[in-house]
Amino acid sequence: MRGADAIVKALEKEGVKHIFGIPGGAIIEVYDALFDSEIRHILTRHEQAAVHAADGYARATGRTGVAFATSGPGATNTVTGIATAYMDSSPIVVMTGQVARSLIGNDAFQEADITGITMPITKHNYLVTDENDLLRIVKEAFHIASTGRPGPVLIDLPKDVTVAEVEFDYPDKIELPGYKPKYAGHPRQIKKAAELITKAERPVILAGGGVVLSNASEELTKLAETIPAYVATSLMGKGAIPETHPLSLGFVGMHGSKYANYAVQEADVLIAVGIRFSDRTTGRVSDFAPNAKIIHIDIDPAEIGKNVDVDVPIVGDAKLVLRELIKHITYRKRKEWEEKVEGWRKAYPLRYRQDEKIKPQYVIEKIWELAPDAIITTEVGQNQMWAAQYFKVNRPRQFITSGGLGTMGFGFPAAMGAKTAFPDKQVVDIAGDGSFLMNIQELATCVDYGINVKVVILNNMFLGMVRQWQELFYDERYSATCLRCKEMSFEKIAEGFGAVGMTVEKPSEVEDALKEAFEIDAPVVIDFRVDRLENVYPMVPAGAALHEVIDEEV
């Protein structure tokens, strides 16, 4: 059979149900083979959106997402999506078309060295130079993407490989001598960690996205309850423990709650699980958790000691390590510490000033009240931080956001991916006007395929987070952040694509608008005209320590 037919058959063997992409000349053979497959292809309007959709699909399901693009600009358009998935350890396989092998290096039409371009932002990538390696490579790609620390894998397919004759002999298993992820933690290190925890008077768990990726939420919650210990999360760790749980402190870092930040800073033992200690989480590293002995559990040994010095490193899968760790822990109540943290929680709740304008925080509170089980995706900027602060996540894979790369334009196509995987669930993209404009063309995709996501735009007509920094740190010199050159109607734009558009300008209209949108069986865009100058608080300025928080008077 043709190489193209073998690729599609291999994808079927891997259990692929959906692919997001755009065809082109170099990958046209694969699309021809796909025509006869039961795999559902979603034709996006931009390759970046195709990769974000595959990424959202992967994050919502835990299964590997798949995206297709053609050569040259099709391939290079995938780069931001791949980098986004790489930074957040999301398992996706991206297949790109390439010019024929004889033309590679000749600056042929729509030729780009996509394996060279994506080398630093993929877990692994392949240029298929021999059709006889094709099926082995597909098998390896899915294995590498989804095992160990997950991540994106790219396969570049020269056109003549896809037309070459191959025998379909798909391997059942593979052997990669240089790739042996370590899952079980070392027993001696686990015992050391348990000894530290047992002696601790102020233990705090800091959970990252690795807990979600390894499906270790149940074990993490059990550990927290067994010690007991309060749990703060990174942005990517939201959902590691239900945020309505009495031990949950929400997320920590630049816009985390004061009580979460204070608890981390005052902890005497910090149990960090599946987290890479990004600068947005730690604040000034030299003053991060200054009183704590740090236990770091992570499947990627390269993360141990990379950003923060640790006292007890444990390399292994979060789920397996936590299961073992729990066996060594005995419950001991720490009344004084509990009273201190609860005092902070009472003294410094998340809050905002309410007046006659629509407050973005209020919109998110209402989304949570009306649809607490919805899958939430976010764009990037103020909208992302308000969503993280005010939407209380109940389960892993419910909150999908671009944490590492901070990609504006991610949330909407990621919502498409999540909704494709779970058509019966409510999926809401919480967006800013600036971010939504970066992939707004995907409204056409949603309408065409009946992907009925709801887009909630917190429209302040600014690139809001940059404007906030300009207000606070650049003497209100608002350079190139105002988006209101002319009045623009997202309602009419949505209607132009065939979606439902709504505009809301009063606080009294917010709840009814959301109720109506959630009942509509179609893609809906709600343009909430929010207070233009609202800022995200609390805030730890860049370069400050976690306890050096600025806040507004309410």
- Strands, E, within 385-523: which ranges? 399-400, 427-432, 454-459, 500-504
Catalytic residue among 14, 29, 47, 266: 47
Residue 384 structure tokens: 């992302």
Instruction: Of 46, 313, 21, give the one whose Cα is nearest residue 157.
Output: 21
Three-state secondary-structure class, residue 127: strand
Half-sphere exposure of 426 (CA within 13 A, CB side): 19
Say whether 109 is catalytic.
yes
Whether residue 423 is preceded by a cis peptide bond, meaning omega within 30 degrees of 0, is no
Instruction: Of 455, 410, 435, give the one whose Cα is nearest residue 82.
Output: 410
Residue 389 structure tokens: 């602060």
Whether residue 228 is preceded by a cis peptide bond, meaning omega within 30 degrees of 0, is yes
Catalytic residue among 109, 182, 201, 354: 109
Instruction: Of 93, 85, 91, 20, give the one whose Cα is nearest residue 62.
Output: 91
Catalytic residue among 12, 13, 17, 110: 110
For residues 471 and 256, give the distance between their C-alpha atoms in angstroms, rounded to a whole number: 20
Say whether 168 is catalytic.
no
For residues 85 and 58, give the distance between their C-alpha atoms in angstroms, rounded to a whole number: 10
Catalytic residue among 465, 468, 534, 539: 465
Residues with Cβ < 8 Å from 551, sequence gap 6 or more?
258, 348, 537, 538, 539
User: Would you say 88 and 208 are in contact if contact means Cβ atoms under 8 Å apart?
Assistant: no
Catalytic residue among 159, 258, 319, 454: 159
Say whether 254 is catalytic.
no
DSSP state of 27: G
Question: How distant, in Å, are the alpha carbons of 8, 456, 524 from that of 503?
Answer: 44, 10, 11
Q: DSSP characters for 265-284? A: HH-SEEEEES----HHHHBS
Instruction: Of 77, 76, 94, give the one whose Cα is nearest residue 85.
Output: 94
Say whether 47 is catalytic.
yes
For residues 19 and 68, give the distance between their C-alpha atoms in angstroms, rounded to a whole number: 7
For residues 417 and 398, give the distance between their C-alpha atoms in angstroms, rounded to a whole number: 13
Write the Ramachandran bin of 409: left for phi over 0, alpha for psi from -120 to 50, otherwise beta. left
DSSP state of 399: E
For residues 181 and 525, give the distance between their C-alpha atoms in angstroms, rounded to a whole number: 43
> What b-and-e string marks burial along 271-284, b requiring 16 or more CB atoms within 10 Å of the CB?
bbbbbbbbebbbbe
User: Would you say 249 and 237 are in contact if contact means Cβ atoms under 8 Å apart?
Assistant: no
Residue 174 structure tokens: 């593979």
Compute how many other C-beta atoms are within 10 angstroms of the C-beta atom of residue 445: 24
Residues with Cβ < 8 Å from 333, sequence gap 6 or more?
228
Burial class (CB in 10 A: 0-12, 13-18, 19+), 473: exposed
For residues 510 and 487, give the distance between their C-alpha atoms in angstroms, rounded to a whole number: 21
Q: Point out the residues that are catalytic.
A: 47, 109-110, 159, 465
